[in-house]
Structure 1
Amino acid sequence: MSTDMIAETEPHLDLSKVGNDAEFLMEHLAKRYEETLLPQMMDEDLPAGVERGLRVLVRQLARAQADLFVMKSAVLGRDRLALTQDWDYVDPLRAQFDALGTDMAAMGPAAFGTYVLKPDESMLGFGWHETEQKGSSSWRWSGPAREAGIYLPNIAQTPCKLVLVFDVLSRDVLPTGDFLTVDGAPVAHELTWSGDLSGRIAIDLASDSPSFLLGISLARTVSPEKLGIGQDKRPLGLCLRRIRFEVA
């Protein structure tokens, strides 16, 4: 899986935006790490001083993890592997997500009932167009290929529902059978439509790995221009609005 992550993700990290100091990549990796950890540590009963201190510590931890990832990538190269203290080889990208999953596991599965991740520039994967945003909302369209994937930290660390909240331009973008995989293994899904072109897809997630690859294989992609509903010429598949982890 590490080899696949390196080969598939490298063209989609948009390293042209990084520059010599890798500021772009570090900023967005740190943002994802901070947004994932912080809600699990906040409580309305915490004294103001303690809350401020926790926010500072989590922000520093998030930045440190992102810095380490980028430094490993720069020193080792995207096609090289890092040797861990247990004499196992892992690539820097996998190490970043394993670290986040391990930290979430330490908090225990009872830390939350539902957790939501927003698609943004820190979403690592392949087969996605750039992030689009309006106000506080962000979303990403898959495309131009039918296949796409997302590397996710295993936030729940316990069996749960993984829910994708999505839009499509046409319902026939979605295949009639199963089209999702977890680490390459096909998984059954529940599809619920909340509108003509909006809905949610739920799968039972039972992975005990700190991170996993969610694969998506659509029937087709199509552009708004071809459908006669806009001037956008990009082939679009699934518009990902939210990723939800729901613990029973």
Structure 2
Amino acid sequence: IIQTQFNTLHDRKLIEYQLKLLQYLCISKDTSDIVVQCYKQVFERDVWTCADLLCVISVKLNEQQLDDVIEFLMDGLVHKDDVVFELSIDEPLGNDGYIHKRCALSIAKIALKLNERQLNKVFEYLMNAFERRKITICNECAHALATISSQLGGKQLDNALQCFIHRFPSYFYNYNSETNATQFLMKLKEGQLGDVFQCFIHRLSDEKEHKYNREKCAELLGKISMKWNDKQLNDAHVQ
């Protein structure tokens, strides 16, 4: 019924306003269930707002409801944007992996609310999707993996690091503030910092690397050097 009502609307601001009103109905399990289902049903009408609101209401959801939201967002990571979604009659929303990116960023935000079981579930999903090439790694899904692995620590953090170094090193020096890698890098331990150091040095010495990327690597080396031991500092000086 709610989806049918939204389908009759074509004014972007009105759709956004009514979607935002729904968040205040999350006062019980039953009403929260209804709000979650509504956001899922009209997601493609206003991807940005629904993705953002799922993050907002996540603090009010129980474990089962969070599982539902996580599953929905993970499904969105492999969504094929083969049509142009519209927020209003005159404002097309483009189809360049938009749903994938918004779902990935939402996972990164909601990750802070997840328990260990849920974190492991999303971590395994992302790693398997990268390995099987179900997902082409981008800054947004890399950031989701970084956020989750930072919370889990241990082997998951190391596996995520190796994934970035060997498959998607550009995540470290991407310019988007929403996917900044600094917090992930500062979570790394001594041995892991050595791997990052070698990765950055390789990028700095590669004359084919874009000037901006080399400058960003130099900046990040300065930040992580605060965590180096004496040997690593000496090695950096020699390099």
TM-score of Structure 1 vs Structure 2, range by shorter chain: under 0.3
Name whichever structure is richer in strand by fraction: 1
Name whichever structure is richer in helix by fraction: 2
Task: Give TM-score, length-normalised by structure 1.
Answer: 0.27
Q: Return the index of the structure with the highest Cα Rg.
A: 2
